[in-house]
Amino acid sequence: MNLMRGKRKHQNRFLFLICAGVLIVCLACGKKAPPVAPGAIVPPAVKDLEAETIGDKVRLTWSLPKKGNTLFAGPGHFGVYRYKSHNSVETCPGCPIPFEHFLDIRLDDREPARVEGDRIVCYDKIEADHRYAYKVVVYHKSGGVSKDSNIVRITNNE
């Protein structure tokens, strides 16, 4: 009789451990997204990034972020990211673009960009026989980070 109670105790412990393990795994599966600091304000993403080739430069422009119809208050700075490769390098369709940080733009600095009306304008020197891709991310003063902007591509065949 004592032998049966001992077996049941071990079975109950085993079942308890399995149930606890399943519960922990289920609770660990939450929303899959980058962490956001408490109190951080996530700014709206840039949606209208444009690129124009002017000689050996590319002119990048985008609108100041808006929430509804009003300008969004509090962007700390803008991060401009660039991908550069020689035209002879094959690209993988559907593969992520390996962007590198290129510029930090603060609205209170006159360089490396300027504000023209409600648009930000900056330039990049481009090389012949290279292709480029750019995107912009908005960083809020509170630590919040926007989603990536639209991606623009430039190919310089000169």
Of residues 73 and 98, more confidently modeled: 98
Q: What is the pLDDT of residue 54?
A: 94
Q: What is the pLDDT of residue 109?
A: 79
Mean per-residue pLDDT of the chain: 82
Query: d(Cα 57, Cα 90) in Å, to the nearest integer?
Result: 23
Percentage of the chain lying above the pLDDT 90 cut: 46
Element (H, E) at 6: helix 2-28
Query: d(Cα 84, Cα 80) in Å, to the nearest integer?
Result: 13
Of residues 46 and 1, more confidently modeled: 46
Q: What is the pLDDT of residue 149?
A: 96
CATH superfamily label, 50-156: Immunoglobulins (2.60.40.10)
Query: d(Cα 62, Cα 74) in Å, to the nearest integer?
Result: 17
Read off the pLDDT band of 16 (50, 70, 90).
low
The model's pTM is 0.74
Query: d(Cα 126, Cα 96) in Å, to the nearest integer?
Result: 22
Mean pLDDT on 70-87: 87
Read off the pLDDT band of 117 (50, 70, 90).
confident
Measured from the Cβ of residue 139, the count of other Cβ atoms closer than 10 Å reads 17
| Res 67 pLDDT > 80 | no
| Res 120 pLDDT > 90 | yes
Mean pLDDT on 65-85: 84
pLDDT in tens, 21-38: 665 555 555 555 556 567
> Which of 103, 108, 94, 143 lies closest to 125, judged by CA?
103
Query: d(Cα 60, Cα 11) in Å, to the nearest integer?
Result: 67
| Res 130 pLDDT > 50 | yes
